Chains A and B, each alone.
Chain A
Amino acid sequence: MTSAEDEYGQLLLRPLDTEPPPVSTVSIAKALADGRKLRRLRRIKMYCAGTATAVALVAAAGLVIAPHAPGRERSAAPGGLSVSGDASGTGSDAPGPVAAVPTSGPLPSSCTVLPLEIPGGYTTGEVLGADPTGRYAVGTAGATDPEVIFWDNGKGIRATVPGQDPELRDVNRNGVAVGTSRDDGGYHAWIYRDGRATELAGPNNATADNIGAGGAIIGHVYEANRYYPVFWQSPQEKARPLALPAGATNAVVRDVDDNGRMVGHVETKPWLWEPSGFGHELPLPKGVQSVSEMWIRGDWVSANDADSGLGIRWNLSTDEVITTEINSTRRRNSARPINAQGWMVANDREGRPFLTAPDQSPFRLPLLSSEAPSTSEYLNYAVELSDEGRTVYGNSYDKGLKAKAAVVWRCQ
Chain B
Amino acid sequence: MPDRSSDDDYTEYVTARLHTLHRLAFLLCGDSHRADDLVQQTITNLYVHWSRASAASNLDAYVRTMLVRSFIDEKRRGWSRVRLFAETPQQSVDLARPGPNVEDRQLLRDALTRLPRRQQAVLVLRFLCDMSVAETAEALNCSEGNIKSQTSHGLAAIRRVLGPHTLALLAGGTR
B115 → chain A closest CB, angstroms: 12
- Assess whether A12 is in contact with B126, with CB atoms less than 8 Å apart: no
How far does the alpha carbon of A186 sit from the alpha carbon of B159 in the complex, in Å? Answer: 59
- Assess whether B79 is in contact with A20, with CB atoms less than 8 Å apart: no
- Cβ of A18 under 8 Å from chain B: yes
In the bound complex, residues from chain B placing their C-beta under 8 Å from that of A25 are: 33, 36, 40
**CB within 8 Å of A: which B83-137 residues:** 83-86, 94, 97, 101, 104-105, 108-109, 112, 123-124, 126-128
In the bound complex, residues from chain A placing their C-beta under 8 Å from that of B108 are: 12-13, 15-16
A119 → chain B closest CB, angstroms: 40
B130-172 interface bits toward A, Cβ cutoff 8 Å, 1 = contact, 0 = none: 0000000000000000000001100100110000001001100
- Cβ of A28 under 8 Å from chain B: yes
Interface stretch of the complex, out of A33-41, A132-140, A378-386: A33-41
- Residue among B7, B18, B128 making CB contact with A16, cutoff 8 Å: B128
Q: Which residue of B lies closest to A42 (CB)?
A: B48
Helix, strand, loop or mixed for chain B's interface? helix
- Assess whether B22 is in contact with A9, with CB atoms less than 8 Å apart: no
**CB within 8 Å of B: which A187-246 residues:** 203, 240-241, 243-246
B167 → chain A closest CB, angstroms: 10
- Assess whether A28 is in contact with B105, with CB atoms less than 8 Å apart: no
How far does the alpha carbon of A116 sit from the alpha carbon of B149 in the complex, in Å? Answer: 78
In the bound complex, residues from chain B placing their C-beta under 8 Å from that of A240 are: 85-86
Interface stretch of the complex, out of A78-86, A275-283, A329-337, A338-346: A275-283
How far does the alpha carbon of A23 sit from the alpha carbon of B20 in the complex, in Å? Answer: 10
From A8, A19, A34, residue with most partner B Cβ within 10 Å: A34
- Assess whether A241 is in contact with B86, with CB atoms less than 8 Å apart: yes
- Cβ of A184 under 8 Å from chain B: no
- Residue among A6, A11, A278 making CB contact with B80, cutoff 8 Å: A278
A101 → chain B closest CB, angstroms: 17
- Assess whether A278 is in contact with B23, with CB atoms less than 8 Å apart: no
Q: Which residue of A lies closest to B92 (CB)?
A: A24
- Cβ of B70 under 8 Å from chain A: no
Given contacts A16-B108, A31-B14, A243-B84, contact A280 B79 (CB under 8 A): yes
How far does the alpha carbon of A12 sit from the alpha carbon of B33 in the complex, in Å? Answer: 25
**CB within 8 Å of A: which B38-93 residues:** 39-40, 43-48, 50, 78-86
Given contacts A31-B47, A280-B80, contact A8 B155 (CB under 8 A): yes
- Residue among B10, B33, B152, B170 making CB contact with A24, cutoff 8 Å: B33
- Cβ of A100 under 8 Å from chain B: no
- Cβ of A412 under 8 Å from chain B: no
- Assess whether A5 is in contact with B151, with CB atoms less than 8 Å apart: yes
- Assess whether A24 is in contact with B79, with CB atoms less than 8 Å apart: no
- Residue among B11, B26, B158 making CB contact with A12, cutoff 8 Å: B158
- Assess whether B39 is in contact with A26, with CB atoms less than 8 Å apart: yes
Q: Which residue of A lies closest to B39 (CB)?
A: A26
A77 → chain B closest CB, angstroms: 35
How far does the alpha carbon of A150 sit from the alpha carbon of B144 in the complex, in Å? Answer: 73
How far does the alpha carbon of A278 sit from the alpha carbon of B83 in the complex, in Å? Answer: 8
- Cβ of B5 under 8 Å from chain A: no
Q: Which residue of A lies closest to B15 (CB)?
A: A28
How far does the alpha carbon of A35 sit from the alpha carbon of B6 in the complex, in Å? Answer: 13
In the bound complex, residues from chain B placing their C-beta under 8 Å from that of A243 are: 80, 82-85
- Assess whether B151 is in contact with A21, with CB atoms less than 8 Å apart: no
- Cβ of A103 under 8 Å from chain B: no
In the bound complex, residues from chain A placing their C-beta under 8 Å from that of B126 are: 6, 9
- Assess whether A28 is in contact with B43, with CB atoms less than 8 Å apart: yes
Given contacts A6-B126, A241-B86, contact A31 B80 (CB under 8 A): no
- Per CB-CB distance, the 8 closest pairs between chain A and chain B, nearest first, are A35-B47, A280-B80, A20-B26, A15-B104, A245-B79, A9-B127, A31-B43, A31-B44
9 A-B pairs besides A5-B155, A6-B127, A35-B46 with CB distance below 8 A are: A13-B123, A15-B104, A15-B105, A21-B94, A24-B36, A28-B18, A240-B85, A241-B85, A246-B84
What would 11 A/B residue contacts be, using CB atoms closer than 8 Å? A5-B155, A11-B170, A16-B112, A17-B128, A26-B43, A32-B10, A32-B47, A35-B45, A35-B46, A245-B82, A278-B80
Binding site for A on B (CB under 8 A): 2, 7, 10-11, 14-15, 18-19, 22-23, 26-27, 32-33, 35-36, 39-40, 43-48, 50, 78-86, 94, 97, 101, 104-105, 108-109, 112, 123-124, 126-128, 151-152, 155, 158-159, 166, 169-170
